[in-house]
Amino acid sequence: MDLKVNGQVVALPEIASDPAMPLLWALRDGLQLTGTKFGCGVGACGACTVHLDGQPVRSCVTPLGACAGKPVTTIEGLAPAGSPHALQLAWLAEQVPQCGYCQSGMLMAAAALLARNRRPTDADIDAAMTNLCRCGTYPRVRAAIMQAAQGLKP
């Protein structure tokens, strides 16, 4: 099975050929893209959030079969030109991460929000950011999203 990941078509190895296999394991174990994290395994925490056809999905509950013909973007592909994404810069400026475990999923959820809404309100952020953070950095996440939004062109 081939998959388009971070702008490139890649052949999945034999270990990741079952259409029922969660996308998370194909990315991590099959393609060695370990930025996407395993958190809960039931789609609740969001540590595994990636974009599938531009939409944020929980890769731990998304079967490979649902990905056929759709582009997948992981945290490794968030800034493909090599320069940090506006969100990554804002994340650093606002000192969002503490332990950092949930951050790749948080960044991917935030990127999806800003892709569809360049000027989110607090309510928009609350609705879009359903990821869990054990460190409780939610106020910094909100500040970083607002900062990044101001740096994006309308």
* Stretches in the chain below the pLDDT threshold 70: 153-154
**Confidence (pLDDT) at 86:** 94
What pLDDT sits at residue 154? 62
Lookup: tokens for 59: 């890769």
pTM of the shown model: 0.94
CA distance linking residue 127 with residue 83, whole number of Å: 28
pLDDT given for residue 153 in this prediction: 66
Long-range contacts, stretch 42-45, CB < 8 angstroms, 24+ apart: 44/132, 45/102, 45/105, 45/131, 45/132
